[in-house]
Amino acid sequence: MSMQHPFDRALALQHSDIRVGHFTGATSPDYWNMVGPFGGATAAIALQSVMQHPDVLGTPIALTVNFAAALEAGAFDVQATAVRTNRSTQHWTVQITQPGASGAPNMTTTATVVTAARRETWGQSDLPMPEAPSPETVERLSVGPAGVAWLDQYEMRLFSGSIPAKWDASLHHSESRLWLRDAQARPLDFASLAAMSDVFYPRVWLRRARHVPAGTVSITTYFHAGPAQLAEVGTGYLLGRAVGQQFFNGFFDQKAHLWSEQGVLLATSNQIVYYKE
């Protein structure tokens, strides 16, 4: 019997008998960041709770995750609630909690999800994939620093906008481009696409070549493909692009795009990030 993929272990949720849409899970050391889980893994858990809900309609088109506090290592609870169901769209709220010191639930993450029953219509992309070298010609990034386990779970091949070699406070552009896929082969799905939308390091590090504390406050991901397009990707690479937009008084936003090797735009995201001087 084959071993379960680390990402599937991190996403494992058990539907409890407390109420419909209530799940329990536990943080994964495989996707640990410096002070808590990798934000992309937390976003994927929020989405997974909706996708496993018995009343879900269609597939995701939008996911917004707000990180109120870092999850601590250990068990957590997730509540996914369908707040409105229309003919073709369904609107969800998600809450992730952990017991506080008093035992009362401590809110760590809130999210909203929109799913939809897509119908065949005309479609076209006005955001073509940028030119890029083939993945095999780009050197793979080495493993991440101690305590940042999640970086080891991805194969990333940066060919533009690498982390600065010197933290000299010089000014640079804020754009990075890279090839990306799971380090251990796993077919792409909506949960992994949500997680990969958050793999880009803070743009302020590249823009200023200054290693300041930074962390995502809120991220929104839009899904532009269906199950068939994700199945065509399989275990292949995604081309990722991220760029900052505005840096102001301790917060900045960065946008990201993810294409398949065939040039299909699969997802776009935008996040607001805190940084400390």
3-state secondary structure 177-202: EEEEEECCCCCCCHHHHHHHCCCCCC
Spatial strand order in the sheet of 14-15: 14-15, 22-26, 75-85, 89-99, 105-116, 59-67, 214-223, 265-275, 251-260, 238-248, 176-182, 154-160
Q: Which residues of 45-74 are buried (b: 16+ CB within 10 A; e: fewer)?
A: bbbbbbbbbeebbebbbebbbbbeeebeee
Determine how β-strand 59-67 pairs with β-strand 22-26: unpaired
What percentage of the chain has pLDDT greater than the value 70? 98
Cα–Cα–Cα angle for 137, 138, 140, rounded to 5 degrees = 130
| pLDDT attached to residue 172 | 84
The rounded distance, in Å, linking the Cα atoms of 272 and 117 is 29
Q: Which residues of the chain have pLDDT under 50?
A: 1
pLDDT attached to residue 1 = 43
Per-residue model confidence (pLDDT) at position 144:
66
Q: Return the pLDDT at 100.
A: 84
pTM (predicted TM-score): 0.95
Cα–Cα distance for residue pair 10/94, rounded to 1 Å: 17
* pLDDT tens digits, 82-135: 999 999 999 999 999 999 888 889 999 999 999 999 999 999 999 999 999 999
